[in-house]
Amino acid sequence: MSGSHKNDQTIGMRTATLVGGYSRRQQFRRMALTLLAEKDDTLADLGYKRWEINVALKLPLRIDAMVFLEQQRQTSGLERDNESLRFMKAGKRPRGVYQYA
């Protein structure tokens, strides 16, 4: 009997995890649809790319879509920082950086 009780607890925990994952995905979906309604310039200012949001929407439930987006955002930020550093070493300005008089 004690083994049956343990299995019931395990099933309950799995169900809670599944329901929690589904709830997080629905919250993410609402946020993502709001972001997708914005222009590409606005998304770029926020650090997102339209294709990344679309990919995140199609991820399986067991993968946290927000974590995926944040990882993509950090990777993009590192690439942008590396590009800026490379241009500064060459004595040039990276894209999008202007000097005003």
What is the model's pLDDT at position 98?
Answer: 46
Domain range annotation of the chain: 9-89
DSSP string, 2-33: HHHHHHHHHHHHHHHHHHHHHHHHHHHHHHHH
Residue 21 · residue 62 · CB < 8 Å = yes
What is the model's pLDDT at position 100?
Answer: 46
pTM for the whole thing? Answer: 0.58
Residue 66 · residue 72 · CB < 8 Å = no
pLDDT, one tens digit per residue, over 9-62 is 677 666 767 677 788 889 999 999 999 999 999 988 888 899 999 999 998 888
Task: Give dist(CA 20, CA 23) in Å, integer.
Answer: 5
Task: Give dist(CA 87, CA 93) in Å, integer.
Answer: 6
